[in-house]
């Protein structure tokens, strides 16, 4: 099975627009679709083999995510409860103080997290926002933690300011495949995301970039997302794979729920195509059984978001996660 001509053309155009970010294709959409189509046991065996070659087979990196500025985003991302145009019950909140952030980071470190991620509901930060964020980054770095930020689209020079403050990772997800993107978001273009990723790379910051599955996309579109990620040059150091958390009031509420084994297949494809990356189980873990999460670890996931909240949606509590890792014989990195 191949992309129809229109989809192939759209995919090709997206690749061409991102030549500064992508090199010659290492993985085609067809290649990755073939991976996803493999018998489940064969796919998991291949992914686990790759995982063991490049990583501690039983190690899991723990990250904690906090919303430093919640709600009121002008974008129309169909999955997001923080979009101002949707009525989801998420209240706008002013930006947290640096002291509040340090308190949260200290608590996360005490519970075993090694990376602290700070997110803000902006289309992109203003200069005054960057100045506040650099202060937060410096304060969290002083605790001895890795730092990550997800602030939306960056303007020229902003990535460099974040790097000078000590930012280790910048998260900016592609969300989905180029051909499915306009079904999810219309207020920004796919190349806008690629442009921000290019600025992050040029500033010397590690890239955290993944996507969301379960938004009504086909397996072909999931292959297209993985292809985009795997063909970034270099591919991201951190790859969060999110399972859609349906929030009442968003356009994607009521979408048919993705089969859990399809999610596991997506994790496996990410591991095979980006062998050195940390593949993170992100949003949606609270809705997954222990057995599904165990299959994800078997398929090559080796990072989780750790803590009781992901920006505005619930996440398994730290004590629960510790019990799960212990049950599986996994340890924190």
CATH of the domain at 168: 3.20.20.70
Catalytic residue among 22, 46, 73, 285: 73
Of 117, 163, 201, 222, which is the active-site residue? 117
User: What pLDDT does residue 4 have?
Assistant: 35
Q: Where are the beta strands (DSSP E) in the chain?
A: 59-69, 115-120, 146-150, 169-171, 206-208, 211-213, 238-243, 278-281, 303-305, 309-310, 313-314, 331-332
Report yes or no on 3 lying in a domain: no
**Does residue 216 lie in a domain region?**
yes
pLDDT recorded at residue 313: 54
- CA-CA distance, 174 to 176, in Å (whole number)? 6
* Predicted TM-score of the model (pTM): 0.88
**Annotated active-site residue in 77, 163, 201, 271:** 77
* Catalytic position from the list 22, 46, 115, 148: 148
> Is 19 inside a domain boundary?
no
Residue 296: active-site member: no
Residues of the chain below pLDDT 50: 1-23, 309
pLDDT digits over 54-95, tens only? 999 999 999 999 999 988 888 999 998 988 888 888 878 889
Range of the domain at 169: 28-332
Within a domain: residue 210? yes
Is residue 13 one of the residues assigned to a domain? Answer: no
Annotated active-site residue 80? The verdict is yes
Domain count, the chain: 1
Q: Is 22 a catalytic residue?
A: no
Residue 278 domain-assigned?
Answer: yes
Quick check: is 295 in a domain?
yes
Q: Which of 22, 208, 209, 296 is catalytic?
A: 208
What is the distance between the alpha carbons of residues 324 and 183, in angstroms, rounded to a whole number?
36
Q: Among 193, 265, 280, 285, which one carries the catalytic annotation? A: 280
Please say if 73 is a catalytic residue.
yes
Is 130 a domain residue? yes
């Amino acid at each position: 099975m191949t992309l129809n001509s229109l989809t192939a053309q759209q995919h090709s155009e997206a690749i061409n627009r991102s030549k500064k970010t992508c090199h010659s294709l290492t993985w085609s959409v067809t290649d990755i679709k073939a991976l996803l189509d493999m018998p489940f046991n064969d796919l998991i065996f291949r992914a686990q083999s790759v995982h063991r070659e490049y990583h501690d087979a039983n190690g899991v990196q723990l990250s904690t995510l906090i919303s430093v500025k919640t709600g009121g985003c002008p974008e129309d991302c169909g999955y997001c409860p923080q979009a101002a145009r949707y009525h989801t019950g998420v209240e706008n909140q002013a930006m947290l103080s640096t002291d509040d952030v340090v308190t949260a980071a200290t608590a996360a470190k005490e519970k075993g997290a090694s990376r602290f991620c700070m997110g803000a509901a902006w289309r992109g930060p203003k200069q005054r926002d960057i100045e506040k964020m650099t202060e937060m980054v410096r304060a969290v770095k002083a605790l001895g933690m890795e730092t990550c930020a997800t602030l939306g689209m960056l303007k020229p020079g902003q990535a460099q300011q974040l790097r000078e403050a000590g930012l280790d990772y910048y998260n900016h997800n592609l969300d989905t495949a180029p051909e499915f993107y306009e079904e999810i978001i219309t207020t920004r273009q796919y190349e806008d995301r690629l442009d921000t990723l290019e600025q992050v790379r040029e500033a010397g910051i590690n890239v955290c970039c993944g996507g969301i599955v379960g938004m009504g996309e086909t397996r072909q579109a999931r292959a297209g997302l993985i292809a985009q990620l795997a063909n970034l040059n270099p591919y991201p150091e951190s790859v969060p794979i999110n399972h859609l958390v349906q929030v009442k009031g968003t356009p994607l509420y009521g979408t048919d729920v993705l089969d859990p084994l399809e999610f596991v297949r997506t994790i496996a494809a990410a591991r095979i195509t980006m062998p050195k990356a940390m593949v993170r189980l992100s949003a949606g873990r609270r809705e997954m059984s222990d057995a599904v999460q165990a299959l994800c670890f078997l398929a090559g996931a080796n990072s989780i978001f750790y803590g009781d909240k992901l920006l505005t949606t619930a996440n398994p509590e730290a004590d629960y996660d510790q019990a799960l890792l212990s049950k599986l014989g996994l340890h924190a990195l």
